[in-house]
Amino acid sequence: MKILITGGAGFIASNVADRYIELGHEVVIVDNLVTGQRENIPEKATFYEMDICDPELAAVFEKEKPEVVNHHAAQLDVRKSVADPIYDANINVLGSLNILQNCAKFGTRKFIFASTGGAIYGEQDYFPADEHHPNQPLSPYGITKLATEKYLYFFNDSYGLTYTILRYANVYGPRQNPHGEAGVVAIFARRMLKGEQPMINGSGEQTRDYVFVGDVVKANELALTGGDNTIFNIGTGIETDVNELFRQVASMVPHQIEEKHGPGAAGEQMRSVLDATRIRETLGWKPEVNLAEGLKRTVAFFKERG
């Protein structure tokens, strides 16, 4: 089938694109290369350097007529969303609506949406959070992801556009951006390998659910043919605090790195962990790569890149 992937030059979506091509699908990528890397784009993919807010996106849909859209393009920085909610909403809401309107106009059959577990659930009432957990986002970023989920209900009801929503935990692995705010594993790995001192925000006792990108790719593969009109958490159900993450990464590099703490990040969640029972029972998905192995692969990737 023909699949259009937004943000396909980025960390997660480029890995998804590779897998879709391996499966024999025809892949079209739309990415403005603001955070994505041209080197991540598979040779066999058709590439359009374009912003998802661009009115010319309609011409891409008219020409390519994708059966499936896999939507990963987004403004991902939670802190930037707090500093500039209008910028965040322009990309994450209006950009998503531009894509959805073209899906409806040009007959796209299915829409796979990369959403967020931690940011939508906010400070959790119980652990791990399942898909029934109250949605109480604490950042504009989380609000825009939730808004797009609600628009998907509308487009399904009004236009028959089938969707699958994947609410990610903290995804890490090869190709993660070490320069952004969201990729603590990549930041630690790159800085430690260069002999630089990473800083832990606050006490380091804040926990996250770290899920390896290869497992996330598998969920995107299964969503091509299953999970219609359903929300799935994509996580491991295991909490790891930042201090432990720091120690594990530090044990994999040749330099002795001291554990240093800086000021806490304003508004940072203290605990986030997801229950992925629904997708396991529905599609048979489960995480295959544990944290130690995933960190080993990620550190090896950054070591190779230098």
Catalytic site positions = 141
Tens digit of each residue's pLDDT (9 = 90 or more) over 125-152: 999 999 999 999 999 999 999 999 999 9
- Per-residue pLDDT band for 182 (boundaries 50, 70, 90) equals low
Q: Which string of b and e fits 153-163 if b means at least 16 CB within 10 Å?
A: eebeeeeebbb
Residues 73/49, Cβ–Cβ less than 8 Å: no
Question: Residue 164's pLDDT is what?
Answer: 99
pLDDT in tens, 73-107: 999 988 899 999 999 999 999 999 999 999 999 99
| Amino acid, res. 13 | A
How far is the first Cα of the chain from the last one, in angstroms, to the nearest whole number? 37
Sign of CA dihedral 128, 228, 99, 8: positive
pTM tops 0.85, yes or no: yes
Q: What integer pLDDT is reported at residue 264 of this predicted model? A: 87
Domain ranges across the chain: 2-170+210-234, 174-208+238-274+289-305
Helix axes 96-106, 140-159, angle to 10 degrees: 10
167: β partners: 115, 233
pLDDT at 180: 59
2-170+210-234: CATH architecture: 3-Layer(aba) Sandwich (3.40)
Tell which wins on pLDDT, 63 or 180.
63
pLDDT at 267 over 70: no
What is the identity of the amino acid at 225? T
Q: Is 296 exposed, middle or buried (0-12, 13-18, 19+ CB in 10 A)?
A: middle
pLDDT higher than threshold 60 for residue 181? no
pLDDT over 70, % of the chain: 98
* Whether 108 contacts 68, CB under 8 Å: yes
Write down the mean pLDDT value for the chain: 96
DSSP H helices, the chain, are 11-22, 57-64, 78-83, 85-89, 96-106, 118-121, 140-159, 184-193, 213-222, 242-250, 277-283, 291-305
What is the per-residue pLDDT across 209-252, written as a single tens digit (0 to 9) for each?
A: 999 999 999 999 999 999 999 999 999 999 999 999 999 999 99
For domain 174-208+238-274+289-305, the CATH class is alpha beta
Residue 177 pLDDT: 87
